Amino acid sequence: MENGEGLSITSQEAPTRVVEAGEKRQYYLFREKDPDYPLELIITEVPPGHTQPFHAHETIDEITVVLHGEVVGITKDTKDSPQQEHPIQALSLYDPKVHDFHRITAAKDGTVLLVLEDRNTGEIFGGELPYDEGFNAGKAFHTVENRTDQWIIMATVKKTTPETFAKNPKIFQEDKINLE
């Protein structure tokens, strides 16, 4: 991502809410700031032992990257099919004891840059979110599970094409199929 390219959202602009079993989520909704950026990034703090509900997406691409701790990504094709497990290790970029999210910047191609601030020194630095180190279930039903006794922090990017978003601006809210 070139300097000055992209759309930024500061952590103060990103709404936060607590959901299922105490998960804390901070929403960087690029799609709401500019429809040419049809993506959102959610920073989620997941409590020990928590498993999110199985779900799938028809249109949205969803990639989860662990920032702190370790989770297991789980996929299955149908309710009765065997599940496949994908352990996901944390990146070395982020330490929640030292860093705060300063802002998140996204490019139109879906590239995401995490810009962090060192609490002790005030230094601002960043790194591109490496999708290849994350968990992408494709169109399969999927979930993540925190099997540890520690809180974990992960970044989930949901994106679609500008054309799909233009046809249905509510696609991010509507494209979720729960496994029952």
Lowest mean pLDDT among 96-105, 131-140, 155-164: 131-140
Mapped onto helix, strand or coil, the DSSP state of residue 82 is: coil
The string of pLDDT tens digits covering residues 74-86 is 999 888 899 999 9
134 or 146, greater pLDDT: 146
* Whole-number Cα distances in Å, 103 to 9, 24, 43, 64, 126: 5, 18, 12, 18, 9
Is 70 exceeded by the pLDDT of residue 1? no
pLDDT tens profile 86-124: 999 898 889 999 999 999 999 988 899 999 999 999 999
Provide the percentage of residues in the chain whose pLDDT is more than 70. 97
Which tokens is 12 given?
Answer: 């103060």
Stronger pLDDT, 47 or 91, i.e. the higher one: 47
User: What contacts 39, CB < 8 A, 6 or more positions away?
Assistant: 30, 31, 106, 110, 112, 157, 158, 159, 160
Report whether 143 contacts 54 (CB < 8 A). Answer: yes
> In which band, very low, low, confident or very high, does the pLDDT at 146 lie, cut at 50, 70 and 90?
very high
Query: What pLDDT was estimated at residue 91?
Result: 84
Q: pLDDT at position 35, please?
A: 92
What pLDDT does residue 103 have?
Answer: 94
Give the model's confidence band at 2: pLDDT under 50 very low, under 70 low, under 90 confident, else very high: low
* Range 54-71 average pLDDT: 92
Region 36-64: mean pLDDT is 93
Calculate mean pLDDT across residues 51-73.
92
Average pLDDT over residues 126-144: 86
Vertex 84 angle, CA 61 and 49, to 5°: 85
Residue with the bigger pLDDT between 14 and 79: it is: 14
